[in-house]
Amino acid sequence: MSEMRDRCWIKALKTGETGSYCLPEEKTAVAKTIREDMPLLFQNIKEAPASEAALVFEKVSGGLGEEGYRIEKKDGGYRVSAETEQGWLYGMFGLNRILGSGKTAELPVTEIPEQKLRMIDHWDNFDGSIERGYAGESIFYRDNEFRKDYGLVREYARLLASVGVNALSINNVNVHRLETRFLEEDNLLEIKKLADIFRAYGIQVYLCINFAAPISVGGLSTGDPLDPEVAAWWKNAFRRVYDIIPDFGGVLVKADSEGGAGPFSYGRDHKDGANMLARAIKDFGGTVIWRCFVYNCTQKYWQREIDRARAACDIFSDLDGKFEENVILQIKNGPIDFQIREPISPLFGRLKHTRQVLEVQITQEYTGHQKDLCYLIPMWKEALDFDLKCEGEGVIKNRISGIAGVGNVGMDSNWTGNKLAQANLYGFGRLCWKNGLTSGEIAEEWIALSMDLSETNAKALERMLLTSREVYEEYTCPLSVGFMCKPGNHYGVDIDGYEYDRWGTYHYADRDGVGRDRTVASGTGYTRLYSDARYEEYESLETCPDELLLFLHHVPYTHVLHSGKTVIQHIYDSHFQGVEKVEEYLEGWKSMKAEVDEATYKNVEERLLLQVENAQNWRDQINTYFYRKSGIDDEKGREIYK
Ligand code: GCV
């Protein structure tokens, strides 16, 4: 069974504000959850007959939709109204949050989620490892078996539901041999137990599938999506799934990507692949979420005409409008791969008649491995608020039908390895639900619910969170150049680690300048994938935003930014500054020691010490590298190792 877990942001309230509550009848799994969890969340209040209750749940019709709720004060207590039990569930957690963060002045509140699909993607493998996981082993699997720690799974389901997550894929998008067999009956019976737990918290379970499964487990000679035998095999497999889990969500598919099978293997396109699965799963009510992370990962660095940033657009643009209704395309926020700074993927603008989901990475693969502090909400907000300036609705959050985040939890007792990385999971859910929340509001809420800090320290921690993305950017990635990290594990500096490799992520630094030329005038033409307005902005050095410069242009080190600095001076300044700020984080955290429990204090201090070391390494190597390339001194005369 699970060790004592950090309850995170869910408060066991002892407010004394409410004397009693009236529970909904136990008709469904969700209502049962409310009955069981109410006493955990509102600890000093007792069940009471409806007439006396100070906290009542009421069903209403109209106005709140399938998941919305309203909370208002009523006769010295509170009333939670919803059209459904799922709405009540969210209302219960909403009230817990409001009371727990002392925000009762905001009542009455009416909340309806702004994104329909709010999904966590697990990259968990059956052997218990997690691809890009930084918080211990998988909570679902161990040694090629189901871990069967149902209490822990339930705690996790509660955590996700408390921030409004309503879907979950439970295995890695890279589907290996054993996970391919998740579609077989014995495994499905285990998956059903997980689905039962998640269902009780309003969360639908999805599986990642291997496009080559008809061959590897089905014994067919082909996985060709246009072969009727292949389609029949999938339909049969889905029938098996739905016989066991009737409300199964569907499948998430990574195909033709990083060595995996896909429709290209059979000379077909991605509409053929996605639609075949969509038709096979349609009768059972399932959805196919198809990832657009498809690119050639075997290029040579001198093949400058091949641009990985273009790949998704080149492959998917012409397929717009040709997908079945139960297909959703899942698109990473940037065109390459979850770097600390990338432009927004132009594919969002090119799909006008296809459902799309934004994919972000909560787990900190390229953003510090949950050792370095990096609060990611500002980055995701930038994506949601980005205006493509195209015909019709241009703002991303209004074009998509959901958001998926690659999860960041594991067996570590605080769930996320670094306690402060909890803020990213919390914020993911809150932001999916209410896109208009600011990064500051989310940070403030999370701190109020998760820590017991004085106002001054709470503000100081909030500032740390809010500045941490930019600070990480400062000491790692100048001007969106990207991928100067160690190959393989993606932590720490290795400036040329990927420069001559096959992955298509080159910075092209030479003695004169740096950056990837993606212009129409002299580069790969990537800028033309955007609307006219964005193309013009990005194509011209006059208007290209500084922070995207090296993603889009190759410029001399002496090029002057809008900030007034040269590129080389910006590199030096930002790297010195980034390290200074991390050192300040450490001092700031030390000054909070008296107000933080010991385990959390140590947990974060340990990681900040690692972050200081990491930031210094980045600073020193980047500064030396660019000094050696350019021969240009730091105008402030600081020490740059030669
Ligand atoms: C699950 C990046 C990561 C891979 C990941 C892949 C993806 O390339 O490094 O570990 O694979 O993205 O999103 O599919």
270 Cβ below 6 A of ligand 1: no
Total length of the chain: 642
Peptide bond preceding 225 in cis form (omega within 30 of 0): no
Mean pLDDT over 248-273 rounds to 97
Q: What is the mean pLDDT of the chain?
A: 95
123 Cβ below 6 A of ligand 1: yes
In which band, very low, low, confident or very high, does the pLDDT at 1 lie, cut at 50, 70 and 90?
A: very low
Pocket test for ligand 1, best of 258, 364, 366 (most atoms within 8 A of CB): 258
Contact (CB, 8 A) for 347 and 317: yes
503 Cβ below 6 A of ligand 1: no
Instruction: Note the pLDDT of residue 38.
Output: 87
Instruction: Note the pLDDT of residue 319.
Output: 98
User: Which residues are bridge partners to 56 per DSSP?
Assistant: 22, 79
User: Which residues are bridge partners to 73 per DSSP?
Assistant: 78
- Tens digit of each residue's pLDDT (9 = 90 or more) over 536-556: 999 999 999 999 999 999 999
Contact (CB, 8 A) for 120 and 168: yes
- Tens digit of each residue's pLDDT (9 = 90 or more) over 124-170: 999 999 999 999 999 999 999 999 999 999 999 999 999 999 999 99
- Gyration radius from the chain CA atoms: 25
Q: What distance lies between CA 633 and its chain's CA centroid?
A: 40
- Tens digit of each residue's pLDDT (9 = 90 or more) over 382-394: 999 999 999 999 9
Contact (CB, 8 A) for 118 and 95: no
- Tens digit of each residue's pLDDT (9 = 90 or more) over 38-86: 888 887 666 655 566 678 889 999 999 999 999 999 877 889 999 999 9
Instruction: Note the pLDDT of residue 50.
Output: 59
Mean pLDDT over 417-446 rounds to 98
The DSSP string of 127-176 is TS-BTT--SSS-SSEETTEE---HHHHHHHHHHHHHTT--EEE-S-SS--
pTM above 0.85, yes or no: yes
Residues forming the active site: 258, 337, 365
Contact (CB, 8 A) for 319 and 270: yes
CA angle 55–59–65, rounded 5-degree value: 120
Pocket test for ligand 1, best of 337, 338, 342 (most atoms within 8 A of CB): 337
Q: Which atom of ligand 1 is nearest to the CA of 254?
A: 14
Q: Which atom of ligand 1 is nearest to the CA of 173?
A: 1
Q: Using CA positions, which residue lies closest to atom 2 of ligand 1?
A: 337
Instruction: Note the pLDDT of residue 39.
Output: 82
132 Cβ below 6 A of ligand 1: yes
Amino acid (1-letter code) at residue 94: G
- Tens digit of each residue's pLDDT (9 = 90 or more) over 513-527: 999 999 999 999 999
pLDDT at residue 18 tops 80: no
Instruction: Note the pLDDT of residue 52.
Output: 63
